[in-house]
Structure 1
Amino acid sequence: MAPKPITSPVPDAWYPTLSVFMLAIGLVVTASFFIYEATSSRRTRSLTKELITGAVASVFLGFGSLFLLLASGVYV
C-alpha cells in the first residue's frame, strides 16, 4: 500500500484571500489595542482585556503572515 501524499487542508486558491482577511482583522484588533492603551488611564486598564486582545491580534497576524508566505510561493 502506497502512502498518501501530504496535502493542505485549505485549497491553494484560498491562500491570497485568507491572507488579506486575516491580516486585515489582525491589524484592526491591533489598532483597537493601541487605542485602548492610549485612551485609558492606569487605574481603568484591565490586564485580562489586554492579554486577550493581544493574543487575538497575534493569532490573526501570525496566520495571515503564514498564508501570505504560502500565497507568494514560500512554503514553510
Structure 2
Amino acid sequence: MASAAKAISSPVPNEWYPTLAVVMLSIGLVVTASFFIYEATCTKRNRCIVKELITGGVASLFLGFGSLFLLLSAGVYV
C-alpha cells in the first residue's frame, strides 16, 4: 500500500529567522564596506583581482542569505 507522505519542514527553526537575518545582513554590510574601503584606498598597481572577487563573493553570499531570512521572518515564503 501507499505510505503516508512526510511533511516538508525547514532545516532551520522559524524562531531563528529574525536573528539569522540580522546577523547575516550585518556581516554582509561589513564585508561590503571593507570592499569599498579597499577599492577607494588601493592604487591601480596594488589591486588584486582575486581578493576583490573573494570579498565580493563573500559579501554577496551573506547579503543574499540575509535577505532570504529577512523575507522569511516577514512572512514572505519564497
TM-score (norm 1): 0.99
CA RMSD of the aligned region, Å?
0.2
CA–CA separation in structure 2 for the residues paired with 1:8 and 1:43? 47
Gapped runs of 5+ residues in structure 1?
Answer: none
Alignment of 1:1-76 (within 5 A): 1-76=3-78
CA–CA separation in structure 2 for the residues paired with 1:58 and 1:4? 34
Letter of the structure 2 residue corresponding to residue 9 of structure 1: P
Determine which structure has more spread, i.e. the larger CA radius of gyration: 2
Instruction: List, as ranges, runs of 4+ consecutive aligned residues in structure 1 with deviation greater than 2 Å.
Output: none
Count of aligned positions: 76
Identity level (%): 74
Gapped runs of 5+ residues in structure 2?
Answer: none
Displacement of 1:30 in angstroms is 0.0
TM-score (norm 2): 0.97
CA–CA separation in structure 1 for the residues paired with 2:28 and 2:44? 25
Displacement of 1:44 in angstroms is 0.1
